[in-house]
Amino acid sequence: MILIIQVHKRLQQYFIQIIYVIIVIGSHSPHSICQLYGDSPQKVVEVQLILQIVELEESKTIEGVSVGLEGNSLYSWNISFAGPSDTLYEGGYFQALIKFPDDYPNSPPTFRFLTEMWHPNIYTDGRVCISILHAQDEFNDQEPPETRWRPILTPEDVLISIVSMLSEPNINSPANVDAGIQFRDKPDEYKKKVRKLIDKALENL
């Protein structure tokens, strides 16, 4: 967390207050923290993002996760994580970019893999198509509203859903049609292609 504050210099002056509230008062609420220095909407979101970075890096659900800021912006994160155990992706290490809109958390973030992926629910440019990244007002009769983005959700929730999606693709609504067809009709070839890309990514680390 200290590294994050050092990188994002605009928030250095709030570092002591944030630590005070977390340790002494025991509150992780962005509003509680921001009451110490002014409760502007932008600062509430920035503090919320800092706390969510810490939460994600301390996650016991996602293996080998790390977070860094892209271009010193709290609204753009570089994320790395290990492939889940006992799946086709075990042993892999994946890099991605998650970006937050100005009206976060009312609107969902976007998530794009920087590692080359072959998956029915990942576009060829790395963008992920999954319900949790879709806003409530996006019409899709295949997605119940409760599976879409809600302001109470966090980046950790997003990453947990994406990790689950890796080993359990939804081929009924594929973002990559060719990958979806191969997954359905030629599973052995699909597995070989996925493992080849994983090995290639590891060589480039």
CA dist 175 and 161 (Å) reads: 16
Are the C-beta atoms of 44 and 30 separated by less than 8 Å?
A: yes
Are the C-beta atoms of 133 and 110 separated by less than 8 Å?
A: yes
DSSP state string for 99-140: E--TTTTTS--EEEESS----TTB-TTSBB--GGGS-TTS--
Catalytic residue flag (residue 34):
no
Output phi, psi for 81, to 5 deg: -155, 155
Cα pseudo-dihedral 40, 45, 48, 50, rounded to 10: -110
Write the burial class of residue 166 (CB in 10 Å: 0-12 exposed, 13-18 middle, 19+ buried): buried
Sheet of strand 93-99, all strands in order from the earlier edge strand to the far edge? 66-70, 73-82, 93-99, 110-113
> Can you say whether residue 109 is alpha, beta or left, with left for phi > 0 and alpha for psi between -120 and 50 degrees?
beta
Out of 74, 129, 194, 198, the active site residue is 129
Active-site amino acid positions:
129
